[in-house]
Amino acid sequence: MSAVTIRFTTRWPPNVGSLVIARLSGSKQFSHTMAIIGNRAYEASMTHGCRAVDLAEAMQGIAFYQDMAVPVPDIEGAVAFGEAQHGKPYDWLGALGIPLLMSEDWADNSKWWCSELNFAQIAAGGLWLLDPDEKKRVTPNDLRQCNYQKSQIKPASAGFSLGR
């Protein structure tokens, strides 16, 4: 069985909007997620919208990250889903509503924010990380709480320090 790696990230300098939304939704360390399959990254960001790009491109500006490998039964389904989302817009209203939990349904597949895109991509690979009947909004913190082994928090480049 192949795996999708969920990468939890923090940028430097931080995107203030993303940072505020993350803190209000319970995340103390990370404000963004991307899914990685092979050397391809799938993400929805405030600055780029939805994109499927080389991992090195997605990692530009990332200060710290932590990985969580999630085995999926249908890696081709996850890849096909991720590629099909490239070019879709960022879900601004959905993301801004995360701290308020105003949206009843995350599954508007015409636009995405980061963690809901990654959640849907893993589901397209045949694995539901959270019960979709119970969890209508999926935040980076929700994904990080899933019971899969996580790597140590790492600086993305030699120029950053965890300060510990």
pLDDT tens digits along 30-71? 889 999 999 999 999 989 999 999 999 999 999 999 999 999
The residue ranges of DSSP E strands in the chain, in sequence order, are 2-11, 32-37, 40-45, 49-54, 62-72, 154-155
Domain count, the chain: 1
Q: Is residue 71 part of a domain?
A: yes
Task: Encode pLDDT of 2-12 as tens digits.
Answer: 999 999 998 86
Q: Within a domain: residue 162?
A: no
Confidence of residue 1 (pLDDT cuts 50, 70, 90): confident
What domain range is 95 assigned to? 2-155
80: CATH: 3.90.1720.10
Q: State the pTM of this model.
A: 0.86
- Give the number of other Cβ atoms within 10 Å of residue 44's Cβ: 26
